Chain A
Amino acid sequence: MDKILEVKDLNFSFKTYGGIVKSVRGVSFDVNEGEIIGIVGESGCGKSVTAQCIVRLNPEPPGYFEGGSIKYKGKEITSMSDNEMRNIRGVEIGFIFQDPMTSLNPTMKVGKQIEELFVQRKIYSKQQLKEKAINILKLVGISDAERRYKQYPHELSGGMKQRVMIAIALVGNPSVIIADEPTTSLDVTIEAQILDLLKDLQKKLKTSVILITHDLGVIAKMCDRVLVMYGGKIVEKGLVDDIFYNTKHPYTSGLLCSIASLETSKEEELQPIEGTPPDLFSPPIGCPFAARCEYAMDICYKAMPPEYTITNEHATLCWLEHEFANHVVFPCKRILKEEA
């Protein structure tokens, strides 16, 4: 499989009055052609910043690249000019934003917002543009597309708006779509519809999708590969099955244990991860998770763990994988179930 996007040692920070926030600290990953890759983590862990770096949507200043490279089909993105970026953003890489209620322009008709990408390009005539917009509205499952084309965002429901967002992301025929929490503000039944739509479209159009979410349920359903982020770093990455059934990082295991599933009985107590995420103004020298980790050793506070490779695809950032460390079996319910 071809690598379509290569992110290497990405560092991105923001200058604020309180000091410098190191949002993303040395993140590396690849996106292959035609796969869905998930990024999961809590708010403030840097997942959205990472994604927005790829399309350079982070405000610069106050944000700035501290180092690293992002290559899209071999071309370096971090050093591109604004003009070059315009040919990538929306055309080659589509973006679906988190909140459809606020990310659509309320004063523009839906159809016009979809066509906006082509306004400067002058490739198509007005009639062709309209046809294109209506076709894409049909593709994302909006019934009565001709009528919707002329409506304003406030006339649509939340799920509809998210479909329009997807249409906008797809209209340039991108090879990568970045979906930043596409379903967080939607209801469960609508969430299921939108996720199915995304998956269908991904299969049909053979695009790659970077799916950002904090919901492990969404990850389990959608993704081929997963990156788990914490404190600006990728703490574990691997295939879905690696992450869920062969967890190698205490944070991933903690996340899996802390959610109530349908099988959790009432007598069982949930096992939360105590404490709160680290302050990225002055990130800890050692492992960012050490302060909340029940297996933390002395070394964890003193030095950043290296990346330990478990299999070809599976890697973790944890001292527990060191040969001198005690062997730990995580109390992860998902493992037990598969053995049974």
Chain B
Amino acid sequence: MEPLISVKNLSKYFYISKNEVLKAVDDVSFDINEGETVGLVGESGCGKSTTGRCLVKLYNPTKGQIFYKGKDIFLARNKEEYLEYCKNTQMIFQNPYSSLNPRMTVKDIVGEGLKIHNKIYEKQLDEQIEDLLKTVGLNKEHMSRFPHEFSGGQRQRIGIARALSVNPNFIVCDEPISALDVSIQAQVLNMLKKLQKERKLTYLFIAHDLSVVKYISDKVIVMYLGMIVEQAKADELYMNPLHPYTKALLSAIPEADPNIAKNKDRIMLKGEIPSPINPKNCCRFAERCSYAMPICHNEMPKLKNYDISHKIACHLFNS
């Protein structure tokens, strides 16, 4: 089966000054199959949001290609091809308080994409927006209101309605629930799952909450400082994490159960995530890794297959 999205050697650098390059994403490759949810996890500053933004063309990558159904998205020949891609890939943003234009009504926000992509009449537009609001659990009365009149959870629903409006088949969810309250998070998660089933959506789910990622994803990609360190099926990754960073990340999850929380063996990482500006050309985790060998400080490990669906970039697994 041909993957829906195929990312090949994607890099995104930000040039800060003459001698400083911030390598936000560095040589990242992965595939996303149709109907699947891929989780992307890592600490802040590891490049997960940048990757997501490259996928919806909010950033132009420095190097590398992204293929959508076999076509390179950055080589769109004309406006139709470009719009076609935009229509099929949408994004749900992290912060519902800043990602909705405060001067637009809900109708304008949700209808904007509809107007651009489907040339439709005003009356039809109203009907369609009504339907969309209904799918995300809002109703008709909300149409003429402004974003500040809604709570965080409701705003995120508006954001989701906006993403769904053009009938995409691929959605990048950039930390869609991290700005919401605990009791609201589950509402939004359940809705995302339901929508996926109904509309056969494909998600790239970016998050730092590992329990949520495990719950929603089929495949999980772990990033560290702009690079993929491990990639596997969700269950496999959580049952059998191989990379020392993944192990530490998993052991740091705070469990909502006192007995487990108190008896859990934790792998404490020393130090903090280093700066992505001018990173060294070696394993980027080496400084914090307790298994680091001399080779780790000299050579960059490559992402290799451990078994069929499990990939890892670590010198420990090279032999």
**A residues at B contact (CB < 8 Å):** 42-43, 157-160, 187-193, 195-196, 214-221, 240-241, 244-245, 254-256, 258-262, 264, 266, 269-274, 276-277, 334, 337-338
Contact = CB atoms under 8 A, between A and B. Distances in A.
A187 B207 CA distance: 11
A191 B43 CA distance: 11
B261 A217 contact: yes
Given A157-B272, A270-B186, A259 B256 contact: yes
Given A192-B266, A217-B255, A270-B190, A260 B248 contact: no
A258 B256 contact: no
Contact of B254 (A42, A191, A244, A274): A191
Interface in B240-255: 248-249, 252-255
Given A214-B181, A260-B189, A270-B215, A192 B252 contact: yes
Q: Name which of B189, B257, B268 has the most chain A CB atoms within 10 A of its CB.
A: B257
Contacts of A241: 258
Given A192-B266, A220-B254, A276-B184, 10 more contacts: A158-B44, A188-B253, A195-B254, A215-B182, A217-B255, A259-B256, A260-B186, A262-B255, A270-B189, A276-B151
B86 interface: no
A128 to B, nearest CB: 31
Contacts of B255: 217, 220-221, 261-262
B182 A259 contact: yes
B210 A188 contact: yes
A217 B215 contact: no
Nearest to A254: B183
A136 B272 CA distance: 20
B147 interface: no
Contacts of A43: 181
Nearest to A190: B272
A121 B226 CA distance: 49
Contact of B190 (A219, A240, A269): A269
Q: Is the interface of B mostly helix, strand, loop or mixed?
A: helix
Contacts of B260: 220
Nearest to B273: A187
Nearest to A333: B257
A220 B261 contact: yes
24 contacts: A42-B181, A158-B44, A188-B249, A191-B254, A192-B254, A193-B268, A215-B182, A217-B261, A220-B260, A244-B256, A255-B183, A256-B256, A260-B211, A261-B256, A264-B211, A266-B216, A269-B190, A269-B193, A270-B215, A271-B186, A272-B184, A272-B186, A272-B190, A276-B154
Interface in B258-287: 258-262, 266, 268-269, 272-273
B257 A266 contact: no
B185 interface: yes
B248 A217 contact: no
B238 interface: yes
B44 A187 contact: yes
Contacts of B187: 272, 274
Contacts of A269: 190, 193
A155 to B, nearest CB: 12
Given A160-B272, A272-B184, A221 B211 contact: no
Closest 9 A/B residue pairs (Cβ): A217-B254, A272-B186, A258-B186, A216-B256, A260-B215, A187-B43, A272-B187, A270-B186, A221-B261
A260 B44 contact: no
B138 interface: no
A215 B254 contact: yes
Contact of B208 (A160, A188, A195): A188
Contacts of B256: 216-217, 219-220, 244, 256, 259, 261, 334
A159 B193 CA distance: 34
A269 B193 CA distance: 9
A151 to B, nearest CB: 15
Contact of A259 (B190, B208, B211): B211
Contacts of A216: 182, 256
B253 A262 contact: yes
B96 interface: no
A261 B211 contact: yes
Contacts of A218: 254
Contacts of A159: 272
A189 B182 contact: no
A75 B186 CA distance: 44
B182 A42 contact: yes
Interface string B114-126: 0000000000000
B153 interface: yes
